[in-house]
Structure formats: structure tokens, C-alpha cells
Structure 1
Amino acid sequence: MTEIKNIYCVGRNYALHAKELNNEVPTSPFLFSKPTHAAVYANGDDVMLPAGRGQIDYEVELVVKIGKPYYKGITIEEIIDQMAIGIDFTLRDVQSELKKKGHPWLLAKGFPNSALLSSFFLFPGEDACKQTTFSLLKNGVQVQRGSITDLIFDLQTIIDFTAEHFGLAERDIIFTGTPEGVGPVTSGDQFSLIWGEEVVGQSKVILK
């Protein structure tokens, strides 16, 4: 199992997703983070999420893992060594209240098990990623499908921005953004994380 250092997430990085939540499309990368306690692997085991805090939404994303320390001018082919497909679980009602107050999103984004990850596998390069879609099945039905060709801010921009503002080193991971189609989680839902046509992770979610 891959040891994770920092978890960074890019918000509103697909235009249609920003619009479906009535958010403005950003003009520069919009980042937030999750604690390492948020990370959990979709290895077939049940995943516990909190009940009683309002609606929880799923957001499938392509996740990249950093393989070496960042330096100015490094390319994504040099710095990214592995990738995964993940779900950024969000306490949507909590997030809405935080947004109204102008508060950080941590309470809505950083709860335990809120960063569900497939196993990590070799990063095939940006061009190969552009030719392959990622998707999410909920109870056997596809609910989200995306491609990094639709990113507002591409992988290189995300890497450079993250490193400049927060630092970036080996074992850091970045959730690169979710396409449209996010929706609510119900206790007992079975989620399958898909890369191309391959199932790379599965878990059932229990609200408790």
C-alpha cells in the first residue's frame, strides 16, 4: 500500500462541473487539502462515512502521485510516477454553509475516509491519459465519466501551481478535479473506480 504524505485537491477544474453546482469557472487553479486520515483504499472492504451531517456527494477524479521533489522546470513526465482513480467525498450541506460564511472547506472535505483511492499504478504519460477515460459506477450504473482533455488547468499547470504555493515532494498526491455528474451517496452503495475499461478499485459505502 502506497504511503501518502500530503493530499492536495483541485476544485472546479472541469467547466461543466463548476456550472452544475452554480459556481464560477475559476481563472487560476483553486486548491484545497485533506488530512492523511482522509485516505482509504477501495480494496473491496466496506468504507465508513459519517451519517447525520447532511448529504454526502461522490466526485470521481484522476489522482497523480509525485515521485521526486519538485524543482522549477521539471516536467510532469519526470515528476509523476504513479496514478490512481479516486473519489473526493464531500459533505455538501456542510460545504454550502461554509461557503455562505466564507469559511474554509475542511469540515466538508477532510473527514476520515473522504479520499477513497484505487491502488496506484504506473503513470503512462500525459498523452496516454488523454486517450483514456476514467469513470465511476454506482451500483453497477455509470454516473460519471471524464477525460483530462477537458481539464481547465492541465497537469503541468497544476503541478507548478501546487509546488509554488504549498511545496511538492515525493509521496504527495493531487486529486485533479471531477467531471460533471456528481451526486448523493446512500448507505450500502457499491462504487467501482474505472480506468479505461478496467476496474481498479471497488468498495461499498456505509453511513454510520
Structure 2
Amino acid sequence: MSINARHSLALDAIRNIYCVGRNYRLHAAELGNEVPTSPMIFTKPSHSAVEMNGNDLLVPSSQGSVHYEAELVFAVGNTYEAGMSCDDLFSSFTVGLDLTLRDVQDRLKAKGHPWLAAKGFRNSATLGRWLEFRSVAAMADHDFGLTINGLEVQRGNANDMVFDLQKIVDHVGGAYGLGAGDLLFTGTPAGVGALSEGDRVEVWWNESDLGSLTVKLQG
């Protein structure tokens, strides 16, 4: 799958960012969470999106640990209609990070409050270089993952999702709507952890780097 400008998505073209929580069983288990019986959807503001192009990434440090969560991310290229397949809906995909203020999230969960403060801060949705989306079937042919300072910390495959891509699309499209410019973060495999000042983070697909950044913590 080639990287092609025709399949890229400019940050200012992003509309809605939908995210799926607890969509890999081992990740749910490592955080002590139950696996949901239907897709657990939350959103991030479009202003949370940032490209991974070797840049420094500023993330808050005064509210507790910032956790990385590598995920397959899909760009919607058409307006969803009932019964539409992912193959007709998606235009491109990449690997990104759903960054999370974990201590903040734990406090919000304990109170039954929404997760926005933990999930929606600026720069919390990082995006690697976009690749052409060919088919759902092709996604399971290769793994994706994350390395930090040259060490692999996460590896996943679309086949391991609790809710597959079509189930996610039908759920989100039916309940909230999907259109060109929307993004779907589809959940993270096991291996999440805290970022530290100066960490060099790289996301990859099929053993090819899609983007990198250096973590800079700010108060």
C-alpha cells in the first residue's frame, strides 16, 4: 500500500473524530475493565489532531501520567448510508495515538463523568502518514504497532478487534452519522504505558514507519 498525496487528509479537513474504547480484550484486561457488549464510542475535538512528522509534541504533565495508545485510524471518504460496506466508505488509513491523561480518566470514571478532559486535550490525537485503503480483508494481512526509543511496546492486528470494522461503521454511522472528513480511531492492543520527557515515538504498519515524534512535557 503506497503513501500517496491523493489519499492524504489535511488537518483542517477533519470533521468528527470518533474513537472506540476497549476494542481489544487484552487491553481491557490490563486496565481491569470489562469488555463491552456493544461498541463503546467517545469523541475527540478536531483540534486534538496533530501530524507525526518528526516534530516535538507538547503534552501536559501537571495532571498525572500521559499514556500512549497506538491505533488503526480510518478516514471516511463518503457519506454513510445504511448497509454501506467499509470498502465503499473508507478512503485511507494510518496508525495514530489516542493519548490519554490516565490519572484524570480514572478520577472521571470513578465519578461517572465523561472522559473529555482525559481524552480530548490538544495534541491528543496523533496521525501518521496516510495510506490508501483497499479493503477490510487486506487489513488483517499485516500488523501495526508502536516503538518507543527503538523498542517495540505495542503490536496489534485488525483481526483481534472485539468489534470488527463493519460493526463499528454500522454502529457509529447509524447512531451519529459518518461523512467525508470524519476519522475513526478503532481501539488499542495491550501494552499501553506512560510517556516520558524526550521519548522518541514511532508508529508503524507492515514493518514500515509511518511517523514519529519526540515527547515534550509541559506544565
Normalised by the length of structure 1, the TM-score is: 0.99
> 1:167 is paired with a residue of what secondary structure?
coil
* Equivalent position amino acid for 2:72 in 1: L
- Residue in structure 2 matching 1:143, options 129, 153, 156: 153
* Aligned residue number for residue 102 of structure 1: 112
Q: Which residue of structure 2 lines up, in the alignment, with residue 84 of structure 1? A: 94
Match of 1:184 in 2: 194
How do 1:116-127 residues align onto structure 2 when only pairs under 5 Å count? 116-127=126-137
- Following superposition, the deviation at residue 126 of structure 1 comes to 1.2
- Name the residue aligned to 2:81: 71
Offset, 1:197: 1.0
- Alignment identity in percent? 48
Q: Which residue of 2 aligns with 1:206?
A: 216
Deviations 1:21-80 (A, max 9, x none): 000011000000000110000011111101111011000000001000000111100000
**How far apart in 1 are the matches of 2:174 and 2:85?**
14
> What is the rounded CA distance, in whole Å, between the counterparts of 1:51 and 1:150 in structure 2?
32
Q: Which residue of 1 aligns with 2:6?
A: none
Number of the residue aligned with 1:129: 139
Tell me how far apart the structure 2 counterparts of residues 35 and 81 of structure 1 sit (CA, whole Å): 21
Corresponding pairs, count: 208
- Superposition deviation, residue 124 in structure 1: 2.5
1:159 paired residue number: 169
Residues 118-175 of structure 1: CA deviation (Å, up to 9, x unaligned): 0212013111110110010001100000001000000000001001111110010000
In the alignment, which residue of structure 2 is the partner of 1:47?
57
Distance in 1 of aligned mates of 2:33 and 2:112: 14
Pairwise CA RMSD of aligned residues? Answer: 0.7
> 4+ residue stretches of structure 1 with deviation over 4 A?
none
Partner of 1:113: 123
Distance 1:141 1:196 in 2: 16
Counterpart amino acid of residue 137 in structure 2: D
The 1-side partners of 2:89 and 2:23 are apart by 21
- The one-letter amino acid of 1:156's match is Q
Task: Name the aligned partner's letter for residue 176 of structure 2.
Answer: F
Cα distance in structure 1, aligned partners of 2:44 and 2:104 = 15
- Deviations along 1:101-124, one digit per CA (max 9) or x if unpaired, are 000000000000000110212013
Ranges in structure 1 where 5+ consecutive residues have no aligned partner:
none
Q: 2:21 aligns with which of 11, 36, 40?
A: 11
Hey, what's the Cα distance between the residues in 2 that align with 1:98 and 1:164? 28
Report the Cα offset of residue 95 of structure 1: 0.2
Counterparts of 2:118 and 2:106, CA distance in 1: 9
SS of the counterpart of 1:97? Answer: helix
Q: Measure, in 1, the Cα distance between the counterparts of 2:177 and 2:93.
A: 19
Q: What residue in structure 1 maps to residue 5 of structure 2?
A: none
Q: Where do 5+ consecutive residues of structure 2 fail to align?
A: 1-8
Out of 56, 62, 81, the residue aligned to residue 72 of structure 2 is 62
Question: What letter corresponds to residue 160 of structure 1 in structure 2?
Answer: D
